[in-house]
Each structure stands twice: as C-alpha cells, then as structure tokens.
Amino acid sequence: MTQVHKRFTDDQLRSLFRAYEDGQIDRAQIEEVLGIGKTRFFALWKLFRKDPSHFSISYHRDSPHRMAKSREEVIRAFLLEERALIEDPSLPISSFNYSAIRDRLRDRGIDVSLPTIIDRAKKLGCHRSRPKKKAHDREVITTAVGALIQHDASFHRWSPYAESKWTLISSLDDYSRKLLFADFFEHETTWAHLQAAEALTRRYGLPLQYYVDSLRVFRYVHSRDSAWYKTVLKTDDIDPQWKQTLGLLGINIIYALSPQAKGKIERSYRWLQDRIVRTAAREKLTSITDMRQILKEEVVRYNHQRVHATTGEIPHVRFQTALRTGKSLFRPFSLPAPYANPKDIFCLRETRAVNAYRRIEFHHHTVPMPRVPIGEDVEIHIIPDLTRGSLQTRFWWKQTLVQSIVFPLKEFPRVHFWTL
C-alpha cells in the first residue's frame, strides 16, 4: 500500500482527527480508512495534537547528493590504473585494494567512502570477488617490545617503469607490529642485512631475539650450502656472517620452518606492496632513490596512522606505551670487549694465516704483519662502502688491532664480499 501522504491531503487528515477529537468517529475506523496500525495512528495523533492548525505529513525530499563529475573522473582513472597494474604479471600485486585507492584520493583532497569506490569499480569491471576468509582471531604472543624482531626481505619489480628489481629489507617488532627498519637495496646480500641490523640496534637497542627464515645468509643448511657432501659439517655447524654478528651482540635467532610461519611480516609486505607499486605507477618512478622516499611515506602511514587489525592499536602508540610502562626487552646498545668501533661488529669476516715472510695474502693483495708471529691466524674485518667506492679492512690478532688499510673497491672486481 502507498504511503499515507501520497493518498490523503493534510486537510483530509485534519478533518479525520478533529472528528475523532469530537467523538464523531473512533480510532478503529480511522485506522481502517488510512490503512495504518495503532502505532502509526498514535504517532500521527501526537503530531496533530502538538499543532492542529499547522499539522502536515507532507515533506520535501532533497535530491540525492551527486558527486562532481571531475571527482568521478579521478576515481575512474585510479580504478583503470589499478586494473592495469593487477594485469601486469611482473608486478607483486594481484588483487584490487580499494583502501589504498581511498588513501590516495584523500591525498588529493577527495574524501570518498569505500562502498562508493567499490560501486564504481563494479560498474567499470574493476572488481574481483574474494573468497570468504576465516575470522581474524590471532592473538599477540609476545608480551614486550624487543622480545622478537621479525626480519625478512622481498625481491620484486616495485615500479612498472623501473628496468630492474630491488630488494626491500624490513624488520618488524612482533609485539607492537611497528616497522623498525625498512629500506630498498639493489641486491639482497649479507652486507645489506648487516646494515639493516646495525641501523635497528643502534637506534632502538639490542632485542632479545630475531625471527628469520633459513636463507643461506642467515643459516647454514647441510646438503644445500655445500658443494660436496661432508659428513663433518651438519646444519648449523657453520655460522654465516650475519649469525656471527648477532652472536657477538648476544641476540638469539629463531628460524621459521615455512613461509606461513612468517605471516606477520608477510602481511606488512603485502600492505606496503599494495601502496608502493601503485604510487610508483602513478608517479612514473624509475630510480631507487625516488622509491625510498615513497617507502618512507608509507612506513609513516603504517606506523602512525592506521589501526592494526590484530592488536587494535596504532603500532607506534602501542610501541611507545610499552616503553613507557616498562614492557621492553631492548637492551642498551654496547660493544663487546675488546671492540670499541661498531665497524668491528657490523662487518664481513675472513681469516688468513701469516706466512714465512710475516705477510698474509688477501685477494691478490699482500699485507705485511710485522707484529704477528709466523703461522698465526689473523681475522680480517671487511667494511665495504659502496657509496664511496672504498673497502676498509681491519686486521685483528688475539683481540688486538694490528693493522688497518683502506683499498679502492675497484681493485676487487671479481670479489663480492657483500653478496650472498
């Protein structure tokens, strides 16, 4: 049945209610005539009694708010760009992310709801139904910041306009979900991971333990990392350079046994991928320097502006609250004896024996060791500086620094100290 205001005028309704007020007609008769129930009758009667002379149930419906055509065009352009990115198999995104589009629209001063964006996406064919997921009921296991640092790398083509792929290395605090380190590197190398560990520990302190996968830079695995079968060398019998460094600092290492076991940091990678790739495509970025600026902006957004789905808190706020309330397992950064320079900790290491001429051979370079007895082993600490093109070497014997030399990096064309 049509609505009352479409079937009766205000004057007709006023006549009925005046008749009811004078006792000329009862309520049941009015309900039957109007086709309404008791609740609706008393609502109208209350409105009539409030001001009989101005009683009215007619109203003016405002025309629905329509979005400006220019904004519609921006949304359309963003969605079509999104579809092109998803259809590119060389890029690390495979699904539409309307939240990322909404964030970018807000950066342009366009505040649009997710349902509106999804509605436009369906009309343009820029929508894929997602399978129903299980309830997100995971709980935070750690009880303090610094208890566990999840560390990983992601090697992808981060911009459709870039000619090469880059590696994103990041470290995530398990308790707060705050990204404590994130940076792009041209290659995933031992040296890159050492730089990441140095940046984190010198800024936040020494955590209790790191959580990594079994990549060869983190762990020696028998029958995978050996050229020949050696029964004397089992898994973990050799400490890779990265593991040696963390061992010197007293940081434990836990190894994930499957990709699924690294779900927390993998979700942060997906979040960053969804936004960085899209931004790089829109701004046509080609250099790793430009990509670092975009990464910095997205890390700020991740840490300071969004509420994490699991913790229900903003990661930076949760991190700072833990520090303020004493929920921290970070230890102050300090160097173990006898080292006084961080370069002797965050470095690559090799060992050479002093020959009969009191020298050592170091990649076709002869280095004199006048203070070291013949036959003794010398530990070489190697610190490459890719920006300046130099290679600093520091020579240690029995916990004493006996020599320090800086070589031009170009003198080691076939030696990649910083590769995996």
Q: Is residue 417 part of a domain?
A: no
CB-based contacts of 163: which residues, under 8 Å, 6+ apart?
Answer: 286
Determine, yes or no, domain membership for 133: no
The DSSP secondary structure of 220-281, one letter per residue, reads: --TTTS-SS--TT--TTSS--HHHHHHHHTT-EEEE-SSGGGGHHHHHHHHHHHHHHHHHHH
Instruction: Determine the pLDDT at residue 235.
Output: 55
- Yes or no: say if 194 and 347 are a contact pair by the CB < 8 Å rule: yes
Same domain, 234 and 181: yes
**Looking at residue 82, what is its pLDDT?**
80
HSE-up of 142 (CA within 13 Å, CB side)? 25
- At residue 136, the pLDDT reads 47
Q: Using an 8 Å Cβ cutoff, are 75 and 112 in contact?
A: yes
Domain holding 234, by residue range, is 149-324
What's the pLDDT at 194?
A: 93
**Do residue 164 and residue 255 come from a single domain?**
yes
Q: Are residues 317 and 354 in the same domain?
A: no
Residue 218, both tokens = 């983190």
CATH code for position 300: 3.30.420.10
For residue 101, what pLDDT is reported? 83
Q: Is residue 48 part of a domain?
A: yes
Name the residue type at position 41.
F
Q: Report the chain (420 residues): mean pLDDT per 10 consecutive residues.
A: 76 87 86 87 88 78 66 86 81 79 83 87 77 53 92 89 91 95 92 94 96 81 55 62 92 81 78 87 90 94 90 94 96 93 93 93 90 93 89 93 91 60
Which bin fits 142, alpha (ψ -120 to 50), beta or left (φ > 0)?
Answer: beta
For residue 295, is it within any domain?
yes
Are 258 and 230 members of one domain?
yes
Domain assignment present for residue 348? The answer is: yes
174 and 75 in a single domain? The answer is: no
Residue 43 lies in a domain: yes
Residue holding tokens 């001063």? Answer: 109
Q: Can you give the pTM of this predicted structure?
A: 0.71
Q: How many domains does the chain have?
A: 4
Does some domain include residue 153? yes
Angle in degrees, CA 254, 198, 305, rounded to 5: 85
Residue 182: burial class (beta carbons within 10 Å; 0-12, 13-18, 19+):
buried
Which of 12, 28, 54 corresponds to the end of one domain?
54
Asked if 244 and 303 sit in the same domain, the reply is yes
262 and 403 inside one domain: no
Same domain for 234 and 167: yes
Asked if 204 and 307 sit in the same domain, the reply is yes
Same domain, 356 and 269: no
Residues 83 and 45 in one domain: no
- Is 220 part of a structural domain of the chain? yes
241 Cβ contact list (under 8 Å, min separation 6)? 190, 194, 217, 348, 349
Domain identity same for 199 and 175: yes
